[in-house]
Every structure is written in C-alpha cells, then in structure tokens.
Structure 1
Amino acid sequence: MSARHRSSDPPTLLVIAKEPVPGRVKTRLTPPYTPRQAAALAGAALADTLHTVLKAPARRRVLVLDGAAGPWLPPGIDIVPQEAGGLDERIAAAFAHCDRGPALLIGMDTPQLTAELIAGAAGDGPDAWFGPAADGGFWALGFADPARAGALVRGVPMSTDRTGAMQRRRLVEAGLSVIDLPVLRDVDTAADAAAVAACCLPGSRFAATLNSLAAAGW
C-alpha cells in the first residue's frame, strides 16, 4: 500500500524542543547575551512556534519536550516527554507518538515560520517532506507514514553542516518521494537572531524580545 495520503488528511504536527532554562538553551548566544537573556529568546521563539502551529491545520498538535512546561505553552498543545539518547533517537521516538496519518516535525529555532508554510508542507502526494536549514541541518521533517521514521532517522549524524544532506539522501535512497520546503535560518548565533527577527511576522514575541534587549543596550 502506498504511503501517500490525501490532502484532506490533516497531519499530526510535532514540535521538538527544550525547556528554555538559562544555561541549557541557546548557549551559542552567550556572549553577547547572558544565559538568562538567551533563555528568554529561546522561550520567545518556542512560543511563536507553538502559536503558529495552532493556526495551521492539524489532526493533533504535540510538543515533544525535554523539561517542564512553562508560561510560554498555549492551550491546545499536547505534551509528551522526549526520549533519552542522541538527537536522532529523540526525533525518531517523536514520530512514534503518531498513531496514524501523516506527521510533520519542526524545531523551536525558526520563529519566522508561518502557518501558511506549514499548511503547504502537508499537501497531497509525497512520501516525505524535508525542510533544509541554512546551516546545513534541517528545520522540518515529515512522513506520510510516520512508522517509517525510525529506520530513516536513527544513525544520521546530527549537528553537522552535512546533517541535512545526509538525512535527505536517506529518504531518497529508501525510495520515498520528497517535497523540499523552503530553506529557513535557525537561531543559533547573535547574527542569526538579528536576521531571523527581521523576517518574523508583526507581533512576533521573538522580535519583540530581541528589540527589548537592544533597547536596553545589549
């Protein structure tokens, strides 16, 4: 049976994230920002991402979280804990929470993401979706049949400038038809933060947080 799905099948949307605790998130933002400021930016990026997910069509919306929920969590999002292991193991395990239908996983580092982009990603036809990141990683990964995710994600080296290329090659070599999503820039460094904030929608929590830090002299 084909893994393709109908456009009428809304996806399960998965957001994989860390609790924005100072010293545990966005450590490459320090310096110039303090660990508390970096965590504030991470929390704002996560809140923007979750509110965007709420605006996109979905069968279910799930936050796959390392840590505990905080005030940045809006209602309407289910929470499941991340599994132990490397990032490849944690991504693979996230898809195991999808009981049926297509699933799209995104990270917390692209607050410029729009609901329209998510909706377009879950269109009719392909076996997989792949969202490349400007740093060589990926910001989104989706499967029409999420049961295939484990074998296709586990073992891919993460956090390198070739991670995205290796992950996409896995999909193609498995015979999956792949839709490529637009390249987005992750927030990792202060330069990334400034560039991403400029692309965020009006009312973005991330841009407002960054602007408040700039106004304070940071």
Structure 2
Amino acid sequence: MNVLLLVAKAPVPGLAKTRLCPPADPTQAARVAAAALLDTIAAVRATTASIPVLAHTGRFADAEYGAELTAALAGWHLLPQRGSTLAERLANAHADTAVAFPGRPVLQIGMDTPQLRPALLGTALGLLAEHGAVFGPALDGGWWALGLRDPSYAGALRQVTMSTGDTGRRTLAALRQHGVRPAILPVQRDVDDWPTALAVAADLPGTRFADAVASVDGQLVNGHPR
C-alpha cells in the first residue's frame, strides 16, 4: 500500500495564502486556503489503496474552519513539520513518513491544488509503481507532486531553492543527480494568486474551494474590496 503525504499549514488568517491579499483580506484568504485543504483531504481520503498522512505546521485551533478540518483528518497519521526552510520541511516530511511507514512508496502533494481528484492521484500511484518516481510540474515553474518508491531520495530537495520560477527544473536536476528519473505527471496550476484562484474555481463547480472563492469575489467591486 502507498502513502499519500499531504504537506499543509493550518489556514490561520495572516499566515495562509497571503498572496491572495489583495483583493482578499487575511481572513478571506485563510477561508479559501481552508476550502482548498478540505477538498484535498477529501480527494486523498477517496483514493483507494493509500495511507493518508498529513505533515502540518501551525495550530488548527487558530485556523478558519478548524473544527471541520480536525474532524476531516480523523484517522490520518499526523506529523509535525520540521526544518527552517520549505526545502528542509519537505525532505524531513518524506524522511519522517518513511520512519512511520517503512518500505512504503510515498506520493507527496500540497494544499495549493484543490483540483486534484482521486482519478489523478490513482494514475500517479500507478506510474509510481511502474517507474519508481513521479514528478508533477506546476504551471508557475514549481511542482505539485513528488512520488518516490524510496523516500530517502527526497534528501535531494535540501539543495533546491523553493518557490521560484525555476524550482521545478532545479528539483528535477537534483533528483537526476541522485540517479532518480521520474515519470512526468500532467501540469497543474498552483493557486498562489487571485487570478489563478478564479481560473481554478471556474473548473470546480460545487466544491468547497469554488464556493469560497465565489464568496470573496461576490464582495468585490471591480476587483477590489467593497
């Protein structure tokens, strides 16, 4: 059985999805982040033959929809994130997951892609079984998924600067230096700014994320708060 590792932060106002501000205010941005996380949790839970793990930072007690998120995570294995940089936290999340579930392949995703569905996650797990590694590039130059049959290779992430326009290219180069040549997954959009949030929400009618974005958008006039 595979591990589906979700790396996320508690959607606390002022700390989550701050690049949505403006036009959203910090509380609205945190609610959009919470909706994205809830949709992603649901997709992971619905993916068959997988063990759900959350590597988290922040206090869900202080988060928007904290009680609902806590309930949605019932039965998950929870790991606190470790490290001073995102690269360190990602590498450590893989390492800690490998300790908790030795010998299991790990597919890691984040909370920035609420459009992920069980079918896509299942496809990624299938490719992971065939190739030993998978990599999901993001439209902004980053990446949305990293799957490793041997999670120790995630140590290569420590040498990569995250959250830049060439993070994806650098991550692939670091993996290949360690002899890892992942199968490439479909490109996805990370929700990091308001135009992208609107575009992704338009493709997800009826989801928590689409409803949260629509709620904010309905309070704007010409793209600005009323």
- Fold-level match, TM-score > 0.5? yes
Matched, 1:122 2:119: no
Corresponding position of 2:147: 142
Q: Partner letter of residue 81 of structure 2?
A: Q
Cα distance in 2 between the residues matched to 1:193 and 1:181: 21
Corresponding position of 1:216: 219
Matched, 1:161 2:165: yes
Matched, 1:194 2:198: yes
Corresponding position of 1:7: none
Corresponding position of 1:72: 69
RMSD (Å) for aligned C-alpha atoms: 1.4
The TM-score, its normalising length taken from structure 1, stands at 0.90
Cα distance in 1 between the residues matched to 2:142 and 2:136: 9
Q: Give the Å deviation of 1:60.
A: 1.5
Query: Counterparts of 1:6-25 in structure 2 under 5 Å?
Result: 10-25=1-16
Q: Deviations over 1:113-172 (max 9, x none)?
A: 11111110011321211010111001111101112212x111111111000001012222
Cα distance in 1 between the residues matched to 2:218 and 2:82: 39
Q: Partner letter of residue 19 of structure 1?
A: A
Cα distance in 2 between the residues matched to 1:25 and 1:68: 12
Cα distance in 2 between the residues matched to 1:102 and 1:62: 12
Q: Provide the aligned length of Structure 1 versus Structure 2.
A: 207
Q: Partner letter of residue 86 of structure 1?
A: T
Consecutive unaligned residues in structure 1, runs of 5 or more: 1-9
Matched, 1:106 2:109: yes
Give the SS at the match of 1:122.
helix
The TM-score, its normalising length taken from structure 2, stands at 0.87
Cα distance in 2 between the residues matched to 1:147 and 1:60: 18
Give the SS at the match of 1:46.
helix
Q: Give the Å deviation of 1:79.
A: 1.4
Corresponding position of 2:63: none
> More deviation in 109-118 or 123-132?
123-132
Corresponding position of 2:137: 132
In terms of fraction of residues, the more helix-rich structure is 2
Q: Give the Å deviation of 1:76.
A: 2.9
Q: Give the Å deviation of 1:68.
A: 2.5
Does the CA contact (< 8 Å) of 2:83 and 2:92 recur in 1?
Answer: no
Corresponding position of 1:87: 86
Query: Counterparts of 1:32-43 in structure 2 under 5 Å?
Result: 32-43=23-34
Consecutive unaligned residues in structure 2, runs of 5 or more: 61-65
Give the SS at the match of 1:72.
helix
Corresponding position of 1:28: 19
Q: Partner letter of residue 72 of structure 1?
A: L
Q: Give the Å deviation of 1:18.
A: 0.8
Q: Give the Å deviation of 1:178.
A: 1.2
Cα distance in 2 between the residues matched to 1:176 and 1:127: 8
Q: Give the Å deviation of 1:176.
A: 2.1
Give the SS at the match of 1:185.
coil
Q: Deviations over 1:63-115 (max 9, x none)?
A: 11001232224123221111021011000011112222210110100000111
